[in-house]
């Protein structure tokens, strides 16, 4: 190839890169935007997604629909987005399960969680809360750890199922505290909470809305929240880190993603629009109802957060020896 031709190709490539962002964003969105929620309707991810998409539709004057594609712990809906055209008209409201946990425990995964998606913006995060049945003689995290050390493999904890965030949070607790607890998996948060209320299991790491009513009624005792900071709806609750396990942190989070190769201009526009929406009072109220806090930041912030979360749960899964066929 001649020097002149090589220079011409280089100039054309540079111009394409520089113009692809603004050009792609200029006519975006050109049709209905489909937001894939890889979980059933009515859950926290679905509620958050609908709050965001409603505001997006109003801002754009364009239809933005939520499409629930549940199954396989969020992997079915996530795969659909990974295989979609990278034009910004198919988006993913992802969470820790399909993008940080399942890649380490699923025997068959059809996407790469770090390479097959374009991060757009962190939507928000919410705590789990550590609760125990009132019959458990522990009124603090330190007391529960002492009890578990004195009675290894006698104290059990419920979870929403094998490989779920509630399960992995329990495993993280065991590893940080150096205790032996027996894991009792259920098919969802509601039955896990019901059996904890009934006293069939001793403890549970649950989403705050799932157990807040039982805590207020005295049917469960809340010991701490799992986030790095205390939560606004229950500021009296210590964090697990404050209560005896420094550095402990586990939270449910939601992030907006597109397929890999999403044009930079589309990413920039989506990030700006959703960032603005996260400051909306109505959206913040909806998040607060689930004890959640809004996110924000740049696509790079979400990418860095996701990578850290991915590596963290990978270590927990490996140490616990968890595998789902």
Per residue in 164-210, pLDDT tens?
999 999 999 999 999 999 999 999 899 999 999 999 999 999 999 99
User: 190, 225, 260: which is the final residue of a domain?
Assistant: 225
* Same-domain check for residues 62 and 103: yes
Residue 270 domain boundaries = 27-125+252-320
User: Would residue 21 count as lying in a domain?
Assistant: no
**What pLDDT does residue 1 have?**
44
* Same-domain check for residues 42 and 81: yes
**CB atoms < 10 A from the CB of 141, how many?**
22
**What pLDDT does residue 96 have?**
93
* Same-domain check for residues 34 and 114: yes
User: Would residue 43 count as lying in a domain?
Assistant: yes
User: 161, 190, 225: which is the final residue of a domain?
Assistant: 225
User: Would residue 242 count as lying in a domain?
Assistant: no
User: Would residue 280 count as lying in a domain?
Assistant: yes
* Same-domain check for residues 150 and 207: yes
* Same-domain check for residues 45 and 91: yes
CATH number at residue 101: 3.40.190.150
Nearest to 39 by CA among 215, 157, 207, 185: 207
Determine how β-strand 33-37 pairs with β-strand 156-159.
unpaired
- Name 67's Cβ contacts closer than 8 Å, sequence gap at least 6: 34, 35, 36, 37, 77
Average pLDDT over residues 51-66: 96
What is the Cα 178 distance to its own chain's centre?
A: 26
* Same-domain check for residues 65 and 202: no
**CB atoms < 10 A from the CB of 178, how many?**
10
Q: Which of 5-9, 69-73, 179-183, 288-292 has the lowest mean pLDDT?
A: 5-9
Share of the chain above pLDDT 70, in %: 92
User: Would residue 5 count as lying in a domain?
Assistant: no
pTM of the model: 0.88
User: Would residue 116 count as lying in a domain?
Assistant: yes
Q: Which residues of 71-105 are buried (b: 16+ CB within 10 A; e: fewer)?
A: ebbbbebbbbbbebebbbbbbbbbbbbbbbbbbbb
- Name 120's Cβ contacts closer than 8 Å, sequence gap at least 6: 91, 255, 256, 257, 258, 262, 267, 270, 271, 274, 299, 302
* Same-domain check for residues 113 and 150: no
* Same-domain check for residues 31 and 118: yes
* Same-domain check for residues 131 and 121: no
Domain count, the chain: 2
pLDDT tens digits, residue range 16-57?
Answer: 444 445 555 678 999 999 999 999 898 888 989 999 999 999
N residues, the chain? 325
**How far is it, in rounded angstroms, from Cα 212 to Cα 128?**
11
* Same-domain check for residues 256 and 121: yes
* Same-domain check for residues 32 and 177: no
CA triplet 167, 249, 221: central angle to 5 degrees? 65
User: Would residue 205 count as lying in a domain?
Assistant: yes
pLDDT tens digits, residue range 219-228?
Answer: 999 999 999 9
CATH number at residue 158: 3.40.190.10
User: Would residue 245 count as lying in a domain?
Assistant: no
Share of the chain above pLDDT 90, in %: 83
* Same-domain check for residues 49 and 113: yes
**How far is it, in rounded angstroms, from Cα 96 to Cα 81?**
16
**What pLDDT does residue 324 have?**
80
């Amino acid at each position: 190839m001649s020097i002149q031709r090589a220079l011409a190709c280089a100039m054309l490539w540079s111009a394409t890169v520089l113009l692809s962002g603004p050009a792609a964003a200029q006519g975006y969105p050109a049709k209905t935007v489909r937001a894939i929620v890889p979980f059933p309707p009515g859950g926290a991810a679905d509620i958050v997604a609908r709050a965001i998409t409603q505001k997006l539709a109003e801002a754009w004057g364009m239809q933005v629909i939520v499409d629930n594609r549940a199954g396989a712990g969020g992997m079915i809906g996530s795969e659909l987005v990974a295989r979609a055209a990278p034009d910004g008209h198919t988006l993913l409201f992802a969470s820790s399960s399909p993008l940080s946990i399942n890649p380490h425990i699923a025997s068959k995964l059809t996407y790469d969680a770090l390479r097959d998606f374009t991060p757009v913006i962190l939507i928000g995060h919410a705590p789990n809360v550590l609760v125990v049945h009132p019959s458990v003689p522990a009124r603090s995290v330190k007391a529960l750890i002492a009890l578990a050390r004195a009675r290894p493999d006698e104290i059990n904890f419920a979870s929403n199922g094998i490989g779920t965030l509630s399960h992995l949070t329990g495993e993280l607790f065991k590893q940080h505290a150096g205790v032996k607890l027996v894991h009792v998996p259920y098919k969802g948060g509601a039955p896990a909470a019901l059996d904890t209320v009934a006293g069939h299991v001793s403890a549970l790491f649950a989403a705050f809305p799932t157990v807040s009513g039982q805590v207020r009624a005295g049917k469960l005792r809340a010991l701490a929240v799992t986030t790095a900071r205390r939560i606004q709806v229950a500021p009296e609750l210590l964090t697990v880190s404050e209560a005896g396990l420094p550095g402990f942190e586990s939270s449910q989070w939601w992030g907006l993603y597109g397929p890999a190769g999403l044009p930079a201009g589309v990413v920039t526009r989506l990030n700006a629009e959703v960032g603005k929406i996260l400051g909306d009072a109505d959206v913040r109220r909806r998040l607060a109802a689930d004890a959640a806090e809004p996110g924000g930041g740049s696509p790079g912030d979400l990418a860095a957060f996701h990578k850290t979360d991915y590596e963290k749960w990978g270590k927990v899964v490996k140490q616990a020896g968890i595998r789902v066929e």
